[in-house]
């Protein structure tokens, strides 16, 4: 069984949870990703989460990746997993299977 901590950095998802729970994956909240290319504080928070996750052996996923600039900035910080409209709008299971079969998703990467 694996555990992911969603919306990391907001609400109840705090550093204390990283110490208390067997977390396998953190998701950086989209509120930090949204302005990562224009706001130094958001950039610093995202970079810190990515660095901390790597040091703890935890995978990190960036939520709300909508532009290539977002993806490049996150990649430069060491993030390797992304989700957001850059790759696809929310879709149903059948559409996902078709998308994966046709490899349409690879064009965005």
Catalytic residues: 63
Q: What are phi and psi of 90, to 5 degrees?
A: -60, 135
Bridge partners, residue 4, by sequence: 25
Neighbours of 70 (CB within 10 A): 24
Q: Scanning the structure block, which residue is given the tokens 């349409």? A: 104
Of 108, 43, 103, 106, give the one whose Cα is nearest residue 79.
Answer: 43
Helix (H) or strand (E) holding 6: strand 4-8
């Amino acid at each position: 069984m694996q555990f992911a901590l969603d919306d990391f950095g907001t609400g109840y998802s705090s550093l204390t949870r990283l110490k208390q729970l067997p977390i396998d994956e953190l998701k950086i909240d989209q509120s930090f990703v949204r302005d990562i290319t224009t706001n130094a504080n958001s950039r610093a928070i995202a970079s810190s989460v990515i660095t901390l996750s790597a040091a703890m052996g935890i995978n990190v996923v960036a939520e709300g990746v909508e532009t290539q600039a977002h993806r490049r900035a996150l990649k430069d910080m060491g993030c390797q997993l992304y989700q957001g409209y850059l790759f696809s709008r929310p879709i149903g299971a059948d559409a996902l299977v078709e998308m994966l079969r046709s490899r349409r998703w690879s064009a965005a990467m």
